Chains A and B, each alone.
Chain A
Amino acid sequence: MKESSKFNLQMLNLWLGLCRGDTGLPSDIRSLGYRDKWIEFAFSTKNGDKVNPELIITSVKTGHTILFEWKHGDNTDSDQLRRYSEVTSNDLNSKAAIPGNECKLHDVCLIGLSEHFERLQLGLTNSGLPFPLLVLTDEGIEKKLNSFVISDLNQVFNPKLAFNPSLIPTQLVPFDRESEDWEIAEHIMPNIVIYMITGEPSFSLDQLARDSMSIWNVVLAPFYKGELRNRIKRIVNAASDFEFRGYFQKDKKITHHIDSAVWKITYDATKLPFDKRSQESRKLKTLQTEFIHALQTGERKPHQANMDDYLNKIIDD
Protein backbone atom coordinates (compact mmCIF):
# COMPACT_ATOMS: atom_id res chain seq x y z
CA MET A 1 0.00 0.00 0.00
CA LYS A 2 1.20 3.52 -0.68
CA GLU A 3 2.51 5.20 2.46
CA SER A 4 0.37 8.32 1.99
CA SER A 5 -2.81 6.39 1.41
CA LYS A 6 -2.15 4.19 4.40
CA PHE A 7 -1.52 7.07 6.78
CA ASN A 8 -4.46 9.23 5.66
CA LEU A 9 -6.91 6.35 5.86
CA GLN A 10 -5.36 5.11 9.09
CA MET A 11 -5.75 8.52 10.77
CA LEU A 12 -9.34 8.94 9.61
CA ASN A 13 -10.27 5.48 10.92
CA LEU A 14 -8.32 6.07 14.13
CA TRP A 15 -10.06 9.31 15.06
CA LEU A 16 -13.49 8.02 14.06
CA GLY A 17 -12.74 5.03 16.30
CA LEU A 18 -11.48 7.21 19.18
CA CYS A 19 -14.62 9.37 19.01
CA ARG A 20 -16.72 6.20 19.16
CA GLY A 21 -14.73 4.60 21.97
CA ASP A 22 -14.15 1.52 19.83
CA THR A 23 -13.03 -1.58 21.66
CA GLY A 24 -9.25 -1.88 21.53
CA LEU A 25 -8.74 1.89 21.60
CA PRO A 26 -8.55 4.25 24.61
CA SER A 27 -11.81 5.92 25.64
CA ASP A 28 -10.24 9.26 26.76
CA ILE A 29 -11.23 11.25 23.67
CA ARG A 30 -14.81 10.02 23.79
CA SER A 31 -14.94 10.60 27.56
CA LEU A 32 -14.16 14.27 26.97
CA GLY A 33 -17.24 14.36 24.76
CA TYR A 34 -15.54 14.51 21.36
CA ARG A 35 -17.59 13.25 18.41
CA ASP A 36 -16.68 13.32 14.74
CA LYS A 37 -18.54 16.10 12.97
CA TRP A 38 -17.51 16.45 9.33
CA ILE A 39 -15.16 14.53 7.08
CA GLU A 40 -13.22 16.52 4.49
CA PHE A 41 -15.53 19.51 4.63
CA ALA A 42 -14.14 22.62 2.96
CA PHE A 43 -15.24 26.06 4.11
CA SER A 44 -14.10 29.65 3.82
CA THR A 45 -12.83 31.98 6.51
CA LYS A 46 -14.16 35.52 6.84
CA ASN A 47 -11.28 36.64 4.58
CA GLY A 48 -12.49 34.30 1.86
CA ASP A 49 -9.60 31.87 2.24
CA LYS A 50 -10.53 28.23 1.95
CA VAL A 51 -9.59 25.54 4.44
CA ASN A 52 -10.29 21.86 4.02
CA PRO A 53 -9.59 19.90 7.21
CA GLU A 54 -9.44 16.14 6.87
CA LEU A 55 -11.70 15.75 9.88
CA ILE A 56 -13.52 18.03 12.31
CA ILE A 57 -14.37 16.76 15.78
CA THR A 58 -16.27 18.69 18.42
CA SER A 59 -17.24 18.40 22.06
CA VAL A 60 -20.20 19.97 23.84
CA LYS A 61 -18.57 19.04 27.13
CA THR A 62 -15.47 21.15 26.51
CA GLY A 63 -17.09 23.59 24.05
CA HIS A 64 -14.17 22.82 21.79
CA THR A 65 -13.57 21.99 18.13
CA ILE A 66 -10.49 20.39 16.58
CA LEU A 67 -9.65 20.76 12.89
CA PHE A 68 -7.31 17.96 11.83
CA GLU A 69 -4.70 17.93 9.10
CA TRP A 70 -2.86 14.65 8.52
CA LYS A 71 0.72 15.10 7.34
CA HIS A 72 1.93 11.89 5.72
CA GLY A 73 5.13 13.59 4.52
CA ASP A 74 7.68 15.75 6.25
CA ASN A 75 6.63 19.14 4.92
CA THR A 76 4.23 21.73 6.22
CA ASP A 77 2.54 24.15 3.85
CA SER A 78 3.05 27.68 5.22
CA ASP A 79 0.18 29.13 3.19
CA GLN A 80 -2.15 26.39 4.40
CA LEU A 81 -1.10 27.04 8.02
CA ARG A 82 -1.72 30.76 7.56
CA ARG A 83 -5.22 30.10 6.21
CA TYR A 84 -5.97 27.86 9.20
CA SER A 85 -4.75 30.58 11.56
CA GLU A 86 -7.53 32.84 10.26
CA VAL A 87 -10.34 30.48 11.23
CA THR A 88 -12.53 31.92 13.97
CA SER A 89 -15.28 30.45 16.14
CA ASN A 90 -17.69 32.51 14.11
CA ASP A 91 -16.45 30.85 10.88
CA LEU A 92 -16.92 27.42 12.45
CA ASN A 93 -20.43 28.34 13.51
CA SER A 94 -21.59 30.13 10.37
CA LYS A 95 -19.60 28.35 7.62
CA ALA A 96 -19.09 24.87 9.03
CA ALA A 97 -22.47 24.58 10.78
CA ILE A 98 -20.96 23.77 14.15
CA PRO A 99 -23.27 24.76 17.03
CA GLY A 100 -21.96 27.66 19.10
CA ASN A 101 -21.65 25.58 22.26
CA GLU A 102 -19.26 23.19 20.47
CA CYS A 103 -16.90 25.82 19.08
CA LYS A 104 -16.38 28.41 21.81
CA LEU A 105 -12.71 27.42 21.53
CA HIS A 106 -10.87 25.61 18.78
CA ASP A 107 -7.53 24.17 17.79
CA VAL A 108 -5.96 23.27 14.49
CA CYS A 109 -4.05 20.04 15.02
CA LEU A 110 -1.39 18.50 12.77
CA ILE A 111 -0.64 14.79 12.96
CA GLY A 112 2.36 13.19 11.35
CA LEU A 113 4.60 10.18 11.48
CA SER A 114 7.29 10.07 14.16
CA GLU A 115 10.07 9.74 11.57
CA HIS A 116 9.05 13.14 10.12
CA PHE A 117 8.78 14.90 13.45
CA GLU A 118 11.88 17.08 13.16
CA ARG A 119 10.95 18.54 9.76
CA LEU A 120 7.32 19.04 10.77
CA GLN A 121 8.45 20.72 13.98
CA LEU A 122 10.73 23.02 12.01
CA GLY A 123 7.98 24.01 9.58
CA LEU A 124 5.48 24.66 12.34
CA THR A 125 7.98 26.55 14.51
CA ASN A 126 8.95 28.75 11.56
CA SER A 127 5.29 29.57 10.99
CA GLY A 128 5.08 30.92 14.55
CA LEU A 129 1.65 29.35 14.94
CA PRO A 130 0.63 27.57 18.14
CA PHE A 131 -0.99 24.52 16.51
CA PRO A 132 -0.50 21.30 18.48
CA LEU A 133 1.64 18.75 16.64
CA LEU A 134 0.93 15.07 17.34
CA VAL A 135 2.90 12.12 16.03
CA LEU A 136 1.93 8.49 15.62
CA THR A 137 4.44 6.13 17.19
CA ASP A 138 4.54 2.39 17.82
CA GLU A 139 2.96 3.01 21.21
CA GLY A 140 0.19 5.44 20.35
CA ILE A 141 0.02 9.19 19.81
CA GLU A 142 2.37 11.70 21.41
CA LYS A 143 1.96 15.47 21.61
CA LYS A 144 5.35 16.78 20.59
CA LEU A 145 4.86 20.51 20.15
CA ASN A 146 2.49 23.19 21.46
CA SER A 147 -0.68 22.53 23.42
CA PHE A 148 -4.42 22.39 23.03
CA VAL A 149 -6.45 25.19 24.59
CA ILE A 150 -8.25 22.59 26.70
CA SER A 151 -6.12 21.42 29.62
CA ASP A 152 -8.04 18.14 30.05
CA LEU A 153 -7.21 17.32 26.45
CA ASN A 154 -3.53 18.01 27.07
CA GLN A 155 -3.70 15.60 30.00
CA VAL A 156 -4.87 12.85 27.63
CA PHE A 157 -1.53 13.16 25.83
CA ASN A 158 0.54 13.38 28.99
CA PRO A 159 2.78 11.58 28.35
CA LYS A 160 0.95 9.97 25.41
CA LEU A 161 -2.35 8.54 24.28
CA ALA A 162 -1.31 4.92 24.51
CA PHE A 163 -2.76 2.20 22.26
CA ASN A 164 -1.57 -0.50 19.93
CA PRO A 165 -1.51 1.04 16.42
CA SER A 166 -1.95 -2.38 14.86
CA LEU A 167 -5.50 -2.38 16.26
CA ILE A 168 -6.57 0.85 14.51
CA PRO A 169 -9.93 0.20 12.83
CA THR A 170 -9.88 -0.41 9.09
CA GLN A 171 -13.52 -0.98 8.25
CA LEU A 172 -15.09 2.36 9.21
CA VAL A 173 -13.71 3.82 5.98
CA PRO A 174 -12.31 0.73 4.25
CA PHE A 175 -10.68 2.35 1.23
CA ASP A 176 -10.15 5.59 -0.60
CA ARG A 177 -9.16 6.51 -4.13
CA GLU A 178 -5.50 6.01 -3.30
CA SER A 179 -6.02 2.46 -2.05
CA GLU A 180 -4.62 -0.43 -4.03
CA ASP A 181 -6.88 -2.32 -6.41
CA TRP A 182 -6.82 -5.43 -4.22
CA GLU A 183 -8.04 -3.40 -1.23
CA ILE A 184 -10.98 -2.09 -3.23
CA ALA A 185 -11.67 -5.59 -4.61
CA GLU A 186 -11.60 -7.00 -1.10
CA HIS A 187 -14.48 -4.72 -0.18
CA ILE A 188 -16.63 -4.59 -3.33
CA MET A 189 -16.48 -8.22 -4.51
CA PRO A 190 -18.62 -9.55 -1.61
CA ASN A 191 -21.46 -7.40 -2.93
CA ILE A 192 -21.15 -9.10 -6.32
CA VAL A 193 -21.19 -12.46 -4.56
CA ILE A 194 -24.46 -11.40 -2.89
CA TYR A 195 -25.93 -10.47 -6.30
CA MET A 196 -24.90 -13.90 -7.59
CA ILE A 197 -26.22 -15.99 -4.71
CA THR A 198 -29.52 -14.12 -4.59
CA GLY A 199 -30.21 -14.67 -8.28
CA GLU A 200 -29.83 -11.12 -9.58
CA PRO A 201 -29.68 -11.18 -13.38
CA SER A 202 -27.23 -8.27 -13.65
CA PHE A 203 -25.67 -5.38 -11.79
CA SER A 204 -24.55 -1.91 -12.76
CA LEU A 205 -21.48 0.05 -11.77
CA ASP A 206 -23.53 2.60 -9.86
CA GLN A 207 -25.48 -0.09 -8.02
CA LEU A 208 -22.26 -1.77 -6.97
CA ALA A 209 -20.69 1.53 -5.87
CA ARG A 210 -23.79 2.47 -3.86
CA ASP A 211 -24.02 -0.92 -2.20
CA SER A 212 -20.31 -1.03 -1.42
CA MET A 213 -19.97 2.54 -0.16
CA SER A 214 -22.91 4.27 1.43
CA ILE A 215 -20.84 7.47 1.18
CA TRP A 216 -21.31 7.26 -2.62
CA ASN A 217 -24.57 9.20 -2.72
CA VAL A 218 -23.65 11.60 0.02
CA VAL A 219 -20.48 13.49 -0.56
CA LEU A 220 -18.11 12.16 -3.11
CA ALA A 221 -17.02 15.04 -5.29
CA PRO A 222 -17.52 14.50 -9.05
CA PHE A 223 -13.82 14.12 -9.84
CA TYR A 224 -13.35 11.76 -6.90
CA LYS A 225 -16.40 9.78 -7.92
CA GLY A 226 -15.21 9.54 -11.51
CA GLU A 227 -11.81 8.31 -10.42
CA LEU A 228 -13.26 5.67 -8.11
CA ARG A 229 -15.78 4.69 -10.77
CA ASN A 230 -12.91 4.00 -13.19
CA ARG A 231 -11.08 1.95 -10.59
CA ILE A 232 -14.13 -0.12 -9.73
CA LYS A 233 -14.94 -0.72 -13.38
CA ARG A 234 -11.39 -1.86 -14.08
CA ILE A 235 -11.42 -4.20 -11.10
CA VAL A 236 -14.78 -5.77 -11.95
CA ASN A 237 -13.71 -6.20 -15.57
CA ALA A 238 -10.56 -7.97 -14.41
CA ALA A 239 -12.65 -10.28 -12.23
CA SER A 240 -15.02 -11.07 -15.11
CA ASP A 241 -12.12 -11.66 -17.49
CA PHE A 242 -10.22 -13.99 -15.21
CA GLU A 243 -11.11 -15.54 -11.85
CA PHE A 244 -14.89 -14.99 -12.07
CA ARG A 245 -15.11 -15.78 -15.75
CA GLY A 246 -18.20 -17.94 -16.11
CA TYR A 247 -19.93 -16.15 -13.23
CA PHE A 248 -20.52 -12.71 -14.70
CA GLN A 249 -19.52 -10.87 -17.83
CA LYS A 250 -19.59 -7.40 -19.32
CA ASP A 251 -22.83 -6.54 -21.02
CA LYS A 252 -21.20 -5.44 -24.23
CA LYS A 253 -24.29 -3.66 -25.53
CA ILE A 254 -24.19 -0.91 -22.91
CA THR A 255 -20.90 -1.20 -21.16
CA HIS A 256 -18.89 1.13 -23.37
CA HIS A 257 -20.12 4.21 -21.59
CA ILE A 258 -18.55 4.39 -18.16
CA ASP A 259 -21.66 5.67 -16.38
CA SER A 260 -23.80 2.79 -17.58
CA ALA A 261 -21.40 -0.13 -17.21
CA VAL A 262 -23.42 -3.28 -16.59
CA TRP A 263 -22.39 -6.87 -16.01
CA LYS A 264 -24.68 -9.84 -16.71
CA ILE A 265 -24.63 -12.58 -14.13
CA THR A 266 -24.35 -15.91 -15.87
CA TYR A 267 -24.51 -18.01 -12.73
CA ASP A 268 -27.55 -18.76 -10.61
CA ALA A 269 -26.87 -20.28 -7.22
CA THR A 270 -30.58 -20.26 -6.39
CA LYS A 271 -31.04 -23.23 -8.72
CA LEU A 272 -28.52 -25.29 -6.77
CA PRO A 273 -29.84 -27.85 -4.26
CA PHE A 274 -29.40 -26.63 -0.71
CA ASP A 275 -26.74 -29.21 0.12
CA LYS A 276 -24.54 -27.92 -2.71
CA ARG A 277 -24.69 -24.26 -1.75
CA SER A 278 -22.00 -24.37 0.94
CA GLN A 279 -19.71 -26.08 -1.50
CA GLU A 280 -20.39 -23.39 -4.08
CA SER A 281 -19.82 -20.66 -1.52
CA ARG A 282 -16.44 -22.17 -0.71
CA LYS A 283 -15.62 -22.21 -4.40
CA LEU A 284 -16.51 -18.51 -4.65
CA LYS A 285 -14.28 -17.85 -1.66
CA THR A 286 -11.41 -19.63 -3.38
CA LEU A 287 -11.96 -17.49 -6.47
CA GLN A 288 -11.99 -14.33 -4.39
CA THR A 289 -8.76 -15.41 -2.65
CA GLU A 290 -7.15 -16.03 -6.04
CA PHE A 291 -8.45 -12.72 -7.39
CA ILE A 292 -7.04 -10.72 -4.48
CA HIS A 293 -3.75 -12.60 -4.77
CA ALA A 294 -3.59 -11.85 -8.50
CA LEU A 295 -4.21 -8.13 -7.88
CA GLN A 296 -1.58 -8.07 -5.14
CA THR A 297 1.12 -9.91 -7.08
CA GLY A 298 0.19 -9.60 -10.75
CA GLU A 299 0.43 -13.38 -10.98
CA ARG A 300 -2.49 -15.41 -12.22
CA LYS A 301 -3.14 -19.09 -12.40
CA PRO A 302 -3.19 -20.14 -16.04
CA HIS A 303 -6.70 -20.84 -17.20
CA GLN A 304 -7.84 -22.81 -20.16
CA ALA A 305 -9.15 -20.60 -22.92
CA ASN A 306 -12.27 -21.81 -24.61
CA MET A 307 -14.01 -20.96 -27.83
CA ASP A 308 -16.44 -18.53 -26.15
CA ASP A 309 -13.54 -16.49 -24.76
CA TYR A 310 -11.88 -16.49 -28.11
CA LEU A 311 -15.03 -15.32 -29.90
CA ASN A 312 -15.71 -12.69 -27.25
CA LYS A 313 -12.22 -11.33 -27.63
CA ILE A 314 -12.66 -11.05 -31.38
CA ILE A 315 -15.95 -9.18 -30.87
CA ASP A 316 -14.25 -6.88 -28.31
CA ASP A 317 -11.37 -6.17 -30.65
Chain B
Amino acid sequence: MNWTGDNGMATVSGKALAIRFPTSIKHLDQFCEYLFSSSLPFRLWGVPVMVHENFYRVSGIDLHANCRLDFEIAPEFMRLYLPSGSCGNTIARLFTNLKHYYDSQIEAVGEDDERIF
Protein backbone atom coordinates (compact mmCIF):
# COMPACT_ATOMS: atom_id res chain seq x y z
CA MET B 1 0.00 0.00 0.00
CA ASN B 2 1.25 3.46 -0.75
CA TRP B 3 -0.05 7.01 -0.69
CA THR B 4 0.78 9.41 -3.45
CA GLY B 5 -0.34 12.87 -4.26
CA ASP B 6 0.40 16.46 -4.94
CA ASN B 7 -1.30 19.84 -4.47
CA GLY B 8 -3.80 18.44 -2.01
CA MET B 9 -4.70 15.50 -4.24
CA ALA B 10 -4.22 12.28 -2.36
CA THR B 11 -4.71 8.78 -3.60
CA VAL B 12 -3.87 5.40 -2.22
CA SER B 13 -2.43 2.69 -4.44
CA GLY B 14 -2.20 -1.04 -3.94
CA LYS B 15 -4.67 -3.37 -2.35
CA ALA B 16 -4.87 -5.96 0.35
CA LEU B 17 -3.81 -9.46 -0.54
CA ALA B 18 -6.11 -12.08 0.92
CA ILE B 19 -5.53 -15.58 2.19
CA ARG B 20 -8.69 -17.68 2.11
CA PHE B 21 -9.37 -20.45 4.60
CA PRO B 22 -11.58 -23.15 3.03
CA THR B 23 -12.32 -24.39 6.54
CA SER B 24 -13.46 -21.55 8.81
CA ILE B 25 -11.26 -20.79 11.79
CA LYS B 26 -13.26 -21.97 14.80
CA HIS B 27 -11.45 -20.13 17.56
CA LEU B 28 -10.28 -16.88 16.06
CA ASP B 29 -8.89 -15.52 19.34
CA GLN B 30 -6.67 -18.57 19.84
CA PHE B 31 -5.61 -18.52 16.21
CA CYS B 32 -4.53 -14.87 16.54
CA GLU B 33 -2.68 -15.52 19.79
CA TYR B 34 -0.81 -18.41 18.17
CA LEU B 35 -0.02 -16.51 14.99
CA PHE B 36 1.24 -13.41 16.81
CA SER B 37 3.16 -15.17 19.58
CA SER B 38 6.49 -13.96 18.13
CA SER B 39 7.59 -17.61 18.02
CA LEU B 40 8.67 -19.91 15.25
CA PRO B 41 7.54 -20.75 12.66
CA PHE B 42 5.60 -17.52 12.02
CA ARG B 43 7.66 -15.08 14.08
CA LEU B 44 4.95 -12.44 13.84
CA TRP B 45 4.67 -9.71 16.46
CA GLY B 46 1.46 -7.87 17.14
CA VAL B 47 -1.40 -7.26 19.51
CA PRO B 48 -4.67 -8.57 18.05
CA VAL B 49 -7.52 -6.11 18.55
CA MET B 50 -11.06 -7.41 18.32
CA VAL B 51 -13.07 -5.17 15.97
CA HIS B 52 -16.10 -7.45 16.15
CA GLU B 53 -16.66 -10.88 17.60
CA ASN B 54 -15.42 -12.55 14.44
CA PHE B 55 -13.06 -9.93 13.09
CA TYR B 56 -9.64 -8.96 14.40
CA ARG B 57 -7.10 -6.44 13.21
CA VAL B 58 -3.40 -6.50 13.95
CA SER B 59 -0.74 -3.90 13.30
CA GLY B 60 2.07 -6.36 13.09
CA ILE B 61 5.75 -6.94 12.47
CA ASP B 62 7.41 -9.79 10.61
CA LEU B 63 10.33 -10.57 12.91
CA HIS B 64 12.09 -12.50 10.14
CA ALA B 65 12.59 -9.27 8.19
CA ASN B 66 11.78 -6.67 10.88
CA CYS B 67 9.20 -5.02 8.67
CA ARG B 68 5.58 -4.00 9.07
CA LEU B 69 2.71 -6.18 7.96
CA ASP B 70 -0.85 -5.31 8.95
CA PHE B 71 -3.71 -7.79 9.14
CA GLU B 72 -7.45 -8.15 9.26
CA ILE B 73 -8.55 -11.63 10.19
CA ALA B 74 -12.00 -13.20 9.84
CA PRO B 75 -12.89 -16.90 10.09
CA GLU B 76 -12.95 -17.31 6.31
CA PHE B 77 -10.11 -15.06 5.23
CA MET B 78 -7.22 -12.89 6.24
CA ARG B 79 -6.41 -9.56 4.56
CA LEU B 80 -2.74 -8.59 4.45
CA TYR B 81 -1.49 -5.02 4.04
CA LEU B 82 2.15 -4.69 3.16
CA PRO B 83 3.25 -1.06 3.50
CA SER B 84 5.49 0.46 0.87
CA GLY B 85 9.09 -0.41 1.73
CA SER B 86 8.27 -3.66 3.51
CA CYS B 87 9.73 -6.90 2.22
CA GLY B 88 7.55 -8.90 -0.19
CA ASN B 89 9.11 -12.15 0.99
CA THR B 90 7.08 -11.68 4.14
CA ILE B 91 3.90 -12.62 2.28
CA ALA B 92 5.40 -15.70 0.63
CA ARG B 93 6.87 -16.88 3.93
CA LEU B 94 3.60 -16.41 5.81
CA PHE B 95 1.63 -18.21 3.12
CA THR B 96 4.08 -21.12 3.09
CA ASN B 97 4.04 -21.41 6.87
CA LEU B 98 0.25 -21.27 7.07
CA LYS B 99 0.02 -23.92 4.37
CA HIS B 100 2.53 -26.12 6.12
CA TYR B 101 1.48 -25.67 9.75
CA TYR B 102 -2.19 -24.70 9.60
CA ASP B 103 -4.14 -25.71 6.50
CA SER B 104 -2.72 -27.05 3.26
CA GLN B 105 -5.86 -26.00 1.36
CA ILE B 106 -5.50 -22.24 1.83
CA GLU B 107 -5.11 -20.01 -1.20
CA ALA B 108 -3.85 -16.48 -1.70
CA VAL B 109 -5.80 -14.14 -3.96
CA GLY B 110 -4.95 -10.71 -5.29
CA GLU B 111 -6.72 -8.26 -7.53
CA ASP B 112 -10.10 -9.37 -8.85
CA ASP B 113 -9.82 -12.59 -6.89
CA GLU B 114 -7.01 -13.82 -9.07
CA ARG B 115 -5.22 -16.69 -7.37
CA ILE B 116 -1.59 -15.74 -6.88
CA PHE B 117 -0.32 -18.73 -4.84
Residue positions of A touching B, CB distance < 8 A: 16-17, 20-24, 27, 30, 36-42, 97, 166-167, 169-174, 186-187, 189-191, 193-194, 197-198, 213-215, 218-219, 221, 277-278, 281-282, 284-285, 288-289, 292
| A-contact 0/1 string along B58-101, CB 8 Å cutoff | 01110100111011101011010101100000000000000000
Residue positions of B touching A, CB distance < 8 A: 1-6, 8-12, 15-16, 18, 20, 36-40, 43, 45-47, 49, 51-55, 57, 59-61, 63, 66-68, 70-72, 74, 76-77, 79, 81, 83-84, 109, 111-113
Chain A nearest CB, measured from B65 CB (Å): 10
Chain A nearest CB, measured from B18 CB (Å): 4
- Check if B5 sits within 8 Å of A30, measured CB to CB: no
Contact of A167 among B9, B49, B55 (CB under 8 A): B55
Bound: A221/B7 CA distance, A: 10
- Check if A167 sits within 8 Å of B74, measured CB to CB: yes
Can you spell out 9 A-B residue pairs with CB atoms less than 8 angstroms apart? A21-B113, A22-B18, A23-B77, A39-B10, A171-B72, A171-B81, A190-B68, A214-B84, A285-B36
Contact of B72 among A30, A169, A197, A292 (CB under 8 A): A169
- Check if A219 sits within 8 Å of B3, measured CB to CB: yes
Contact of A214 among B1, B52, B112 (CB under 8 A): B1
Bound: A190/B77 CA distance, A: 23
Contact of B113 among A23, A97, A166, A170 (CB under 8 A): A23
- Check if A186 sits within 8 Å of B66, measured CB to CB: no
- Check if B40 sits within 8 Å of A278, measured CB to CB: yes
Contact of A42 among B8, B49, B81, B84 (CB under 8 A): B8
Chain B nearest CB, measured from A273 CB (Å): 15
Q: Which of B45, B52, B74 has the most CB of A within 10 A?
A: B45
Bound: A282/B8 CA distance, A: 41
Chain B nearest CB, measured from A297 CB (Å): 14
Contact flag A172-B12 (CB < 8 Å), given A23-B113, A197-B63, A218-B3? yes
Contact flag A166-B52 (CB < 8 Å), given A36-B12, A292-B47? yes
Chain A nearest CB, measured from B9 CB (Å): 5
Bound: A191/B70 CA distance, A: 12
- Check if B84 sits within 8 Å of A39, measured CB to CB: no
Contacts of B83 in A (CB 8 A): 214
Beyond A39-B11, A221-B8, 16 additional pairs, beta carbon < 8 A:
A22-B18, A36-B11, A38-B11, A41-B9, A166-B53, A167-B55, A171-B57, A171-B70, A172-B1, A187-B59, A194-B66, A198-B66, A213-B3, A214-B1, A219-B10, A278-B40
